[in-house]
Amino acid sequence: MLGQDVMTAAARAGHHAIGLSRRELDVRDRGAVAAATASARPDVVVNCAAWTDVDAAELEEEDATAVNGGAAGHVAAAAAAAGAFTVQVSTDYVFDGLAREPYCESARTAPLGAYGRSKLAGELAVVGAAQDSHAIVRSSWLFGQHGGNFVATMRRLADERDVLTVVDDQVGCPTFTVHLARALVTIAEQRLPGVHHVAGAGACSWHDLAAAIFAATGTAVELTRGSTADLGRPAPRPAYSVLRSERSDTPVLPAWQDGLRAYLELGVIA
């Protein structure tokens, strides 16, 4: 989902981008990553590869960490060997969600579950491998046209049911992948080092997002409020994971409502 939008954003910015799918490159294979990177001779490597199934990560933490942790280190090490800058995509799940104000880059990390731990391991691996020649970009609640996501799921479920219950005790920043991809390209172009928080401006709960989806699409469905505990999911979720940047050089994304509007204008239901 994100990788395809990064490819498009890079091309539109006038760059020659090489995108490798999971089939073409297993990022867990250190040797293969090193060979592919050396062959491409890139100026920047943007790592969009990730284990994103939060609940499955709780049950298969070793496998999730191999992708999100160890493989991130492989990518950063290969980039460094090629003299390239690394852009690593990370997540709001590196925080515990106990804050009462937005998390900035300097906030203490304290992941609640396996997915967050695996992504934090990736951040540390990148720092160790790429030294000062890297950027870590934390984002959240991604949705886009090239993969399954919450917006598409809500639209599909509204066609199947008369009543939907959506949790209102998780608050974050919905982020349109097209907007995030453009920001990643900007960070890559300018080689802005260190940690960046880049997510849709504003904040809402999942219930708020669902309500906005149905209002924007004129969907008639009864929407009720639920709690995370009622879902009985294996993985814990941060209750509050709003991201803000304390840096003046970090790209600022449009409001999440603008991202939702732009996505819906694409007319895609995944």
Place of tokens 């490597």: 45
Sign for the CA dihedral angle at 206, 209, 214, 215 comes to: positive
- Using a 10 angstrom Cβ sphere, with 0-12 exposed, 13-18 middle and 19 or more buried, the burial of residue 169 is middle
240 counts as catalytic: no
Whether 131 is in a domain gets the answer yes
CB 123 within 8 A of CB 69: no
Whether 23 is in a domain gets the answer yes
Give 132-177 pLDDT, tens digit per residue: 999 999 999 999 999 899 999 999 999 999 999 999 999 999 999 9
Give 46-77 pLDDT, tens digit per residue: 999 999 999 999 999 999 999 999 999 999 99
Looking up residue 40, the CATH number of its domain turns out to be: 3.40.50.720
For residue 130, the enclosing domain spans 2-148+174-201+242-254
Whether 195 is in a domain gets the answer yes
β-bridge mates for residue 143, sequence order: 176
Whether 167 is in a domain gets the answer no
Among residues 93, 103, 115, 263, the one annotated as catalytic is 115
Q: What percent of the chain has pLDDT over 90?
A: 96
Whether 153 is in a domain gets the answer no
Whether 163 is in a domain gets the answer no
- Output the pTM of the full model: 0.96
| Residue 226 CA from chain centroid, whole number | 24
Give 28-50 pLDDT, tens digit per residue: 999 999 999 999 999 999 999 99
Q: Give the number of domains in the chain.
A: 1
On the question of pLDDT at 180 being above 50, the answer is yes
Place of tokens 């940047």: 245
Whether 223 is in a domain gets the answer no
- Return the minimum-mean-pLDDT range out of 135-144, 225-234, 241-250: 225-234
Whether 18 is in a domain gets the answer yes
Find, among 213, 216, 205, 142, the residue nearest to 176 by Cα.
142
- Return the minimum-mean-pLDDT range out of 102-106, 115-119, 157-161, 264-268: 264-268
pLDDT band at 268 (very low <50, low <70, confident <90, very high): low
